[in-house]
Structure 1
């Protein structure tokens, strides 16, 4: 992206390079969201391995599955939201086309808030298991 104008003001980038840059930037939205999705999947799978299925209370296992489902729903929502934010889709990277786009801030907030909630669930989920360990609080 640096070759096509990353780090330079848009007025100093040639029109053909700016269009390529904006297409690449549009693609980066998907790469970022998919990377974030797999990071959360990795954390959830780590919890599954640390706390085996048979040794957990039902609430823990159900919460783990529900968090996986929330993560998948979040990814589907943000992918479809990004695709269909503009009509036609190409207007997402080419603002000169006729059509209209939704507000990007709404899409980002709609992505960030559920993402943070899923992160908090992943962070808080092992705490009751850690607190119930029979060892000194300092070692836990």
Structure 2
């Protein structure tokens, strides 16, 4: 069987970015718990999001073990089934990680920017993110009924149009990302601080957006 080069690339890329995220989260937790000693629920939520991200990388590793990155002609029925099981699990932790990260950011916003108008906008986006996360997680779990039909392709079964669901979810994900990035910008521009400080703050949020 040829080496699944693309599968190995997926594992390396996922592991690299998860490690980078892990460093950022650990530095944040150290600052919040040990230096300023002012931890909030958003810190616990981002920690769970990181755990889900680690789970996603593990699921990708399992998929590679069972042939992800190889042509289907090289895979046995058992390997394909096990790879699809890991893929099914990866979707759940992926959407959990996305949703929890957004929730953590929005809760942090509420702590930093207490103005009424901002709080209302923040709660509106928060509600959308909650609904989006619940939909994507449960939509992934019950993409097929019975659930095992996702990896067995057994009949009779009913499955959602998965490509339509994934592209719809991706679109909503991108829109909420931009909304979260843009949300604090007007308030930062109105802050009574030096121009360089404003630019630095906007830069911080831009890096977060990246």
Q: TM (normalized to structure 1)?
A: 0.84
In structure 1, distance between residues paired with 2:193 and 2:107: 25
In structure 1, distance between residues paired with 2:196 and 2:136: 41
Give CA deviations for 1:67-109 in whole Å, capped at 9, x if unaligned: 2211110011112322333232222122244324232121012
Aligned match of 1:102 in 140, 144, 160? 160
Give the superposition deviation at 1:19: 0.9
User: Structure 1: 5+ residue runs without aligned partners?
Assistant: none
Q: Secondary structure at the match of 1:43?
A: helix
Q: What value does the CA root-mean-square deviation take over the aligned residues?
A: 1.8
Give CA deviations for 1:20-45 in whole Å, capped at 9, x if unaligned: 11101111000100010111122112
Identify which of structures 1 and 2 has the higher relative contact order when contacts are C-alpha pairs closer than 8 Å and 6+ apart: 1
Return the structure number with greater helix share: 2
In structure 2, distance between residues paired with 1:78 and 1:67: 16
The aligned residue for residue 139 of structure 2 is: 81
Q: TM (normalized to structure 2)?
A: 0.59
The aligned residue for residue 19 of structure 1 is: 81
Q: Secondary structure at the match of 1:89?
A: coil
In structure 1, distance between residues paired with 2:190 and 2:126: 24
The aligned residue for residue 67 of structure 2 is: 5
In structure 2, distance between residues paired with 1:117 and 1:16: 38
Give the superposition deviation at 1:138: 4.2
Asked if 2 retains the 8 angstrom alpha-carbon contact of 1:86 and 1:99, the reply is yes
Q: Secondary structure at the match of 1:93?
A: helix
Aligned match of 1:42 in 81, 104, 110? 104
Asked if 2 retains the 8 angstrom alpha-carbon contact of 1:82 and 1:107, the reply is no
